[in-house]
């Protein structure tokens, strides 16, 4: 009776917290716009009938639904265009429902059946993703799990995205990832309702797309000497070292990936990063450089060749720029853009423009002559001249032009869209100039950064914790929302040597950004998001997708207290205890629990710690040498 009364309360007031199915709390990422939990549960029958529109754009959605409803359950699925008593109905509106737009959906889970209604096939796809997240986490299992009760809570959901551009960039230049790995990446992102894959296809370390009019780009430009360690600090490759590292996509591969993405309602934004970041192109076609001796250049294999000690732009030790004063460069770009535009249906082409060193241009007579002829006063104006010519080329292929925020310097090309990465400033400025903007600031959206303390994470030069990523607001104060077309996270691959580590870097921060670009701002809540992340970790365990558990590890603050080291500890998520030792042994729940700032005992050399939830270890065992903390605090030994 009490239970019926509780369900009635749920039904009348839609109170989520007390109504959740206790075995699997509702944990939808990204959070839907509106969700009401109703009384009861839907139980999956062992023969599932699905009515759906019979059309090519819905086929992959149905294939995914079928696979996921059968692999873990062992149940059977039957489809039809007309099935009046279907278990699950996917319906396309004949009259548009203005509230949900092109990507939204309405999902109604009742005890007897489930309906997903949308205006467009994309909405059905997203409705299916949400439905799968309502089922027990075991639905992600690749093998049959016999003991699970396959049920979903009864809910009424209305959902649609906040932004039309919900992007993830994945750099396949610094390290090459195969066509299959790229497809898996797209598959995974689509499940979290991302709709834009930004494919960073060219850089100093590799040209990854076949260009038929310039075959050396992939014959030479896609290959380097294989090395591991800390990328950017590798030894100089020797002339006789074999170039076995790399790879590229043929144009047929590219078409296949585009179709794969399209079936999952993901657009692909190709990026050809010029005029900087072009060593792979120059190693293939040295004529594209202003610098004598470029014919000796090779694709960069991860050795240091930029001096960042003076800030941006960097000083190049080898000239990795295309020469804006060289007409051959514009012929090259015209041909490359012709082939790219013919391959990629998406409306934009991204042309990079970031971190372009100017020190070789400063020495070049050709650049000096160009400046005189065109009345250009600064090197930024030289780059702007280049960008404007490139914009004309891109537009002549029927595409829109987009670049990183450096393209603002020296004057923005007339119709350029800007991807703001060096914080939000460039995006705010571009929006003021009435240019379209995608926000992708390092502050929140750089997924190549470490997600926890350097003592345990693979080394990268900066840190971005999950909680900070979750604070991403694509329309920051001062920005004109009308021009912010969306947000994006970027996964650079300098330190990504394999696909498992790629996944580790992507998740769970990819969940955070997904919610920031899909869900209404007022629906975001860190504590409930963190709880949902834990449910999705269970899904990933079953699906065998790697993720970073860094949110469970402590945050260190090293303080110089009058020459004495003091250590403050905190946790990113609530409800964890930190147990520690200074005696080099491995702490567990019987060791001291952190309650206040620690002062290390006189001769101690190591702080070891681990987080627990109750009596269960949840974080990783961390060994923090005290001299590392002393250095951070500026305390002398
Ligand atoms: C960038 O991160 N250099 C765009």
At 427-482, the pLDDT tens digits run 999 999 999 999 999 999 999 999 999 999 999 999 999 999 999 999 999 999 99
**611 and 505 both lie in a single domain:** no
- Across the range 410-436, mean pLDDT stands at 97
Query: Mean pLDDT for the chain?
Result: 95
- Given pLDDT bands bounded at 50, 70 and 90, which one contains residue 23? low
- What is the mean pLDDT of the segment spanning 281-290? 97
- Do 582 and 485 share a domain, yes or no? no
Rg (CA), the chain: 27
CA distance 250 to 458: 32
Task: Quickly state the pLDDT bin for 523 (edges 50, 70, 90).
Answer: very high
Verify that 326 and 475 share a domain, yes or no.
yes
Residue for token pair 């930024």: 380
Report which of 226, 241, 220, 215 is spatially closest to residue 176, judged by C-alpha positions. 226
**3-state SS string over 317-365?**
CCCCCCCCCCHHHHHHHHHHHHHHHHHCCCCEEEEECCCCCCHHHHHCH
What is the CATH number for 114? 3.30.379.10
Q: Which one, of 167, 541, 169, lies nearest residue 352 by Cα? A: 169
Which atom from ligand 1 is nearest to the alpha carbon of 492?
2
Is ligand 1 within 6 A of the CB of residue 355? yes
CA distance 251 to 336: 12
| Among candidate residues 327, 203, 342, the one with its CA nearest the CA of residue 275 | 203
Contact 261, 268 (CB under 8 A): yes
By 3-state DSSP, what share of the chain in percent is helix, strand and coil, each rounded to 5? 35, 25, 45
Q: Is 484 found in the same domain as 603?
A: no
Length of the chain: 637
Confidence of residue 312 (pLDDT cuts 50, 70, 90): confident
pLDDT mean over 182-196:
98
In a domain, 433, yes or no: yes
**Those residues with Cβ within 8 angstroms of residue 486's Cβ, 6 or more apart along the chain or in another chain:** 163, 164, 165, 166, 167, 196, 438, 439, 474, 517
pLDDT of residue 24: 63
The answer to whether residue 74 sits within a structural domain is yes
Q: Is residue 548 part of a domain?
A: no
Contact 290, 213 (CB under 8 A): no
More confident residue, 636 or 154: 154
* pLDDT score at 53: 96
336/351 Cα distance (integer angstroms):
11
Residue tagged 């710690």 (tokens): 609
Query: What's the gap in Å between 9 CA and the centre of ligand 1?
Result: 51
Domain with 66 in it: 2-159
CA of 196 to the centre of ligand 1 (A): 18
Q: Tell me if 273 CB under 6 Å of ligand 1.
A: no
- Decide if pLDDT at 406 tops 90: yes
Ligand 1 site, residue 421, Cβ cutoff 6 A: yes
DSSP 519: S
- How confident is the model over 327-339, as pLDDT tens digits? 999 999 999 999 9
Q: DSSP readout, 88-101? A: EEEEE-SS--TTTT
In a domain, 432, yes or no: yes
- Angle CA 361–365–367, to nearest 5: 45
- Whole-angstrom distance, CA of residue 494 vs CA of residue 488: 19
Same domain for 154 and 33, yes or no, is yes
Indicate the pLDDT class of residue 311, thresholds 50, 70 and 90.
confident
Q: How confident is the model at residue 25 (pLDDT cuts 50, 70, 90)?
A: confident
* For range 217-227, the mean pLDDT: 97
DSSP E strand boundaries for 74-176: 76-80, 88-92, 105-109, 114-118, 151-159, 165-171
φ/ψ of residue 71, rounded to 5: -60, -45
Instruction: Give the end of a domain, one of 543, 571, 589.
Output: 543
Q: Count CB-CB contacts under 10 A for residue 405.
A: 24
* pLDDT at site 416: 97
Same domain, 69 and 206: no
Distance CA 40, CA 42 (A): 7
Same domain, 490 and 567: no
| The one catalytic residue among 171, 355, 380, 409 | 355
Specify whether 310 is catalytic: no
- Does residue 580 belong to any structural domain of this protein? yes
User: How much is the average pLDDT of 594-623?
Assistant: 97
Residue 155 β-bridge partners: 37, 109
Same domain, 194 and 319: yes
Give percent above pLDDT 90 in the chain: 95
Contact 122, 265 (CB under 8 A): yes
Angle at 284 between CA 282 and CA 285, to 5 degrees: 65
User: How far is 184 from 186, CA to CA, in rounded Å?
Assistant: 5
Decide which of 511, 543, 575 is a domain's last residue. 543
Across residues 519-526, what is the average pLDDT? Answer: 98
* Calpha distance 90→105 (Å, rounded): 10
Q: Whose CA is nearest to atom 2 of ligand 1?
A: 421
Within this chain, do residues 581 and 460 fall inside the same structural domain, yes or no? no
Closest by Cα among 305, 185, 141 to 233: 305
Handedness of CA 9, 13, 15, 20 (dihedral sign): positive
Ligand 1 centroid from CA 354, angstroms: 6
**Claim to verify: residue 333 and residue 401 sit in the same structural domain:** yes
C-alpha to C-alpha distance for 630 and 419, rounded to whole angstroms = 39
- 169, 404, 447, 464, best to mutate for ligand 1 pocket (most atoms within 8 Å of CB): 404
Picking from 120, 135, 159, the residue at the C-terminal end of a domain is 159
Read off the CATH number of the domain in which 170 is found: 3.20.20.80
Q: Above pLDDT 70, what percent of the chain?
A: 96
pLDDT at 6 over 80: no
What is the band of 637 on the pLDDT scale with cuts at 50, 70, 90?
A: confident
- Does 203 qualify as catalytic in the annotation? yes
CA distance linking residue 200 with residue 219, whole number of Å: 19
What is the tally of structural domains in the chain? 3
Quick check: 382 and 357 in contact, CB under 8 A? no
In terms of domains, do 124 and 180 share one? no
| Closest of 397, 383, 399 to residue 349, by C-alpha | 399
Q: Quick check: is 180 in a domain? A: yes
CATH of the domain at 561: 2.60.40
Whether residue 393 is found in the same domain as residue 464: yes
């Amino acid at each position: 009776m009490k239970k019926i009364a509780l369900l009635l309360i749920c039904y009348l007031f839609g109170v989520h917290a007390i109504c959740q199915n206790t075995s699997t709390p509702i944990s939808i990422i990204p959070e839907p716009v509106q969700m009401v939990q109703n009384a009861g549960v839907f139980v999956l029958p062992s023969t599932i009938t699905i009515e759906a529109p019979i059309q090519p754009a819905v086929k992959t959605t149905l294939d995914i639904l079928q696979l996921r409803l059968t692999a873990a359950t062992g149940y059977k699925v039957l489809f039809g265009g007309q099935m009046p008593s279907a278990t699950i109905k996917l319906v396309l509106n004949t009259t548009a429902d203005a509230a949900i737009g092109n990507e939204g959906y309405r999902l109604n889970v009742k005890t007897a059946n489930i309906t997903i209604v949308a205006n467009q096939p994309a909405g059905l796809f997203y409705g299916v993703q949400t439905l799968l997240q309502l089922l027990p986490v075991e639905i992600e299992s690749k093998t049959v799990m016999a003991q699970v009760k396959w049920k979903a809570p009864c809910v009424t959901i209305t959902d649609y995205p906040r932004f039309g551009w919900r992007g993830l960039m994945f750099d396949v230049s610094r390290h090459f990832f195969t066509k299959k790995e790229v497809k898996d990446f797209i598959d995974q992102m689509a499940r979290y309702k991302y709709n834009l894959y930004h494919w960073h296809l060219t850089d100093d370390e590799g040209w990854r797309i076949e260009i038929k009019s310039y075959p050396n780009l992939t014959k030479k430009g896609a290959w380097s000497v294989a090395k591991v360690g800390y990328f950017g600090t590798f030894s100089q490759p020797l002339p006789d070292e074999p170039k076995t590292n790399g790879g590229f996509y043929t144009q047929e591969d590219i078409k296949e990936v585009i179709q794969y993405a399209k079936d999952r309602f993901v657009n692909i934004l190709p990026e050809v990063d010029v005029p900087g970041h072009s060593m792979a192109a120059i190693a293939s076609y040295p004529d594209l450089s202003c610098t004598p001796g470029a014919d000796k250049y090779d694709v960069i294999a991860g050795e240091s060749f930029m001096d960042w000690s003076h800030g941006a732009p960097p000083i190049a030790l080898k000239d990795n720029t295309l020469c804006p004063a060289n007409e051959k460069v514009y012929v090259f770009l015209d041909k490359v853009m012709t082939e790219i535009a013919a391959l990629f249906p998406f409306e934009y082409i991204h042309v990079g423009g970031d971190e372009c060193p100017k020190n070789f241009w400063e020495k070049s007579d050709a650049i000096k002559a160009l400046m005189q002829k065109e009345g250009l006063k600064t090197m930024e104006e030289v780059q702007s001249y280049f960008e404007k010519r490139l914009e004309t080329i891109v537009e002549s292929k029927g595409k829109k032009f987009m670049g990183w925020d450096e393209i603002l310097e020296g004057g923005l090309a007339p119709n350029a869209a800007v991807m703001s990465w060096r914080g939000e400033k460039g995006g705010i400025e571009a929006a003021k100039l009435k240019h379209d903007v995608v926000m992708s600031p390092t502050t929140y959206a750089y997924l190549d950064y470490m997600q926890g303390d350097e003592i345990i994470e693979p080394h990268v030069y900066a840190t971005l914790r999950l909680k900070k990523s979750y604070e991403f607001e694509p329309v920051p104060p001062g920005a004109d929302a009308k021009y912010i077309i969306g947000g994006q996270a970027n996964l650079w691959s300098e330190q990504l040597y394999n696909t498992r580590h790629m996944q580790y870097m992507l998740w769970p921060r990819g969940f955070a950004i997904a919610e920031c670009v899909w869900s209404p701002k007022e629906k975001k809540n860190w504590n409930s998001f963190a709880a949902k992340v834990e449910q999705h970790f269970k899904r990933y365990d079953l699906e065998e997708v790697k993720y970073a558990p860094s949110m469970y590890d402590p945050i260190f603050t090293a303080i110089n207290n009058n020459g004495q080291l003091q250590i403050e500890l905190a946790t990113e998520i609530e409800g964890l205890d930190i147990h520690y030792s200074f005696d080099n042994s491995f702490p567990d729940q019987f060791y001291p629990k952190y309650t206040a700032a620690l002062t290390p005992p006189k001769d101690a050399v190591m702080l070891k710690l681990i987080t627990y939830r109750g009596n269960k270890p949840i974080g990783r065992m961390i060994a923090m040498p005290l001299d590392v903390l002393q250095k951070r605090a500026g305390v002398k030994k």
